[in-house]
């Protein structure tokens, strides 16, 4: 039977890298009977176009119903030339806990006459918390809360971190046999590679035929710089939705993140070792349940790696001052470069306008001038 593979995240589990991998290997995957369709529309709030399953998150939004319909139309058309289709979006993990989501997805799969298989990767909750807070400070909505303000004041209420409860919910909706649960740890990946691991779930192997993504996305900033960006986010005028998040672009440029190939190794964490252990205790029971019920591990071990023992980050005033100078120098350079680009575009537009003006016959130009005098 034809199969729809739905990769639902979670966030911070290499989803962007996997989506890039699928996209640059579309032709090869097609030859092997798998399609990763590109949707004929985009989304303002999604930074990269390879999240082809994002339309599924719109299942209960009337204003975007056309994209839901167009997305499923694309899926059905793709199945005409392929036995297997892959859709991927990390936000599905957040949306799928809402009432009616799986019922609507299953109804569409049934209409298309295809089976549904769901793939999800789970990451340690402390790592998710640190990484996700970091991302929100860097990007939108320009978060200005400290790490502990965020996690203690309901910052993660929207994000299902109780894996036991959430995975049981998915299984009850689609059937346990249709769910593939994996732990996001290198030591648990088949062949030590996320790409090998995912392909094995499709009964495929990673060969030399495949192209690999060029560089890592969502690179880590030095902790001091994250703190500087958090403080910038507190500026009321910068908080406005209409104001671009240009400081993030400036910081990326100042620290050369666009040219880096690997994520720097973290030297410190937002938790102390004791705080980290207390935080993970909240999820111990749910994690053990997932390991036993969905991975067949009698000992209840979901994650093999030991909890991080990194010391807790504290501001270093000397280093903070150095980073602050670099951030604001980078911002000035970035804004100057953008100003130069706009000036060049304006000059080019004026040149083309002058060419058009000079191409008119003399009598037309004289009439245009006469009209301007009369209007004035």
In tens, the pLDDT along 222-257 reads 788 889 899 999 998 888 888 888 888 788 777 766
Is 222 a domain residue? no
Q: Is the dihedral of CA 311, 147, 54, 216 positive or negative?
A: negative
Structure confidence by residue, pLDDT tens digits, 35-79: 999 998 877 666 567 999 999 998 877 666 688 999 999 999 999
77 falls within a domain: yes
Q: With bands split at pLDDT 50, 70 and 90, how would you rate the model's confidence at 260? A: very low
Report yes or no on 147 lying in a domain: no
pLDDT digits (tens, 9 = 90+) for 4-43: 999 998 988 999 999 999 999 999 999 999 999 999 887 7
Question: Within a domain: residue 338?
Answer: no
The CATH number of whichever domain residue 10 belongs to comes to 3.40.50
Nearest to 198 by CA among 119, 91, 259, 128: 119
Which residue's structure tokens are 């699928």? 22
Question: What element of type H or E holds 120?
Answer: strand 115-122
In a domain, 172, yes or no: yes
CB atoms within 10 A of CB 310: 16
Structural domain contains residue 257: no
Question: How far is 101 from 79, CA to CA, in rounded Å?
Answer: 22
Total number of domains in the chain: 1
Residue 131 is assigned to a structural domain of this protein:
no
Q: Is the pLDDT of residue 304 over 80?
A: yes
Half-sphere exposure of 122 (CA within 13 A, CB side): 26
Alpha-carbon dihedral sign for residues 128, 133, 137, 141: positive
In a domain, residue 360? The reply is no
Instruction: State the virtual CA torsion across 112, 73, 46, 211 in degrees, nearest 10.
Output: 70
Would you say 221 and 211 are in contact if contact means Cβ atoms under 8 Å apart? no
Sheet containing 3-7: give its strands across. Answer: 34-35, 84-88, 3-7, 115-122, 179-183
What distance in Å separates the CA atoms of residue 322 and residue 54, rounded to the nearest whole number? Answer: 40
**Nearest partner of 50 among 24, 72, 82, 76, judged by Cα:** 24
pLDDT tens-digit readout, 120-179: 999 999 999 998 898 889 887 889 999 999 988 887 778 899 999 999 999 999 999 999
- Residue 308 or 289, more confident: 289
Q: Are 246 and 335 in contact (CB under 8 A)?
A: yes
Domain that holds residue 199: 3-124+156-217+278-295
């Amino acid at each position: 039977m034809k199969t729809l593979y739905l990769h639902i995240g979670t966030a911070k589990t290499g989803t962007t890298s996997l989506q890039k991998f699928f996209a640059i290997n579309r032709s090869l995957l097609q030859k092997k009977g798998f399609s990763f369709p590109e949707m004929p529309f985009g989304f303002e709030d999604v930074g990269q176009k390879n999240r082809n399953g994002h339309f599924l998150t719109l299942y209960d939004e009337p204003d975007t119903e056309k994209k839901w319909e167009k997305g499923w139309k694309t899926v059905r058309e793709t199945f005409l030339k392929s036995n297997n289709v892959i859709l991927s979006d990390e936000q599905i993990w957040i949306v799928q806990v809402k009432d009616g989501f799986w019922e609507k997805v299953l109804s569409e799969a049934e209409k298309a006459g295809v089976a549904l298989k769901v793939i999800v990767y789970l990451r340690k909750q402390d790592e998710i918390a640190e990484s996700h807070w970091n991302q929100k400070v860097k990007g939108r909505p320009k978060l200005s809360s400290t790490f502990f303000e965020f996690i203690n004041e309901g910052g993660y209420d929207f994000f299902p971190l109780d894996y036991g409860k959430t995975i049981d919910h998915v299984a009850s909706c689609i059937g346990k046999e249709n769910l593939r649960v994996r732990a996001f740890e290198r030591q648990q990946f088949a062949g030590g590679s996320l790409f090998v691991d995912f392909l094995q779930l499709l009964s495929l192997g990673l060969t030399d035929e495949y192209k690999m993504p060029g560089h890592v996305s969502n690179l880590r900033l030095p902790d001091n710089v994250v703190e500087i960006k958090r403080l910038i986010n507190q500026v009321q005028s910068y908080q406005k939705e209409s104001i671009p998040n240009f400081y993030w672009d400036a910081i990326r440029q100042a620290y050369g993140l666009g040219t880096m190939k690997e994520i720097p190794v973290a030297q410190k964490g937002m938790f102390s070792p004791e705080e980290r252990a207390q935080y993970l205790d909240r999820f111990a029971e749910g994690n053990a349940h997932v390991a036993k019920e969905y991975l067949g591990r009698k000992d209840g071990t979901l994650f093999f790696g030991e909890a991080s023992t990194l010391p807790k980050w504290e501001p270093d005033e000397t280093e903070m001052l150095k980073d602050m100078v670099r951030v604001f120098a980078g911002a000035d350079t970035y804004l100057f470069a953008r100003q130069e680009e706009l000036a060049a575009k304006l000059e080019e537009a004026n040149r083309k306008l002058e060419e058009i003006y000079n191409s008119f016959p003399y009598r037309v130009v004289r009439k245009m001038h006469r009209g301007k005098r009369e209007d004035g």
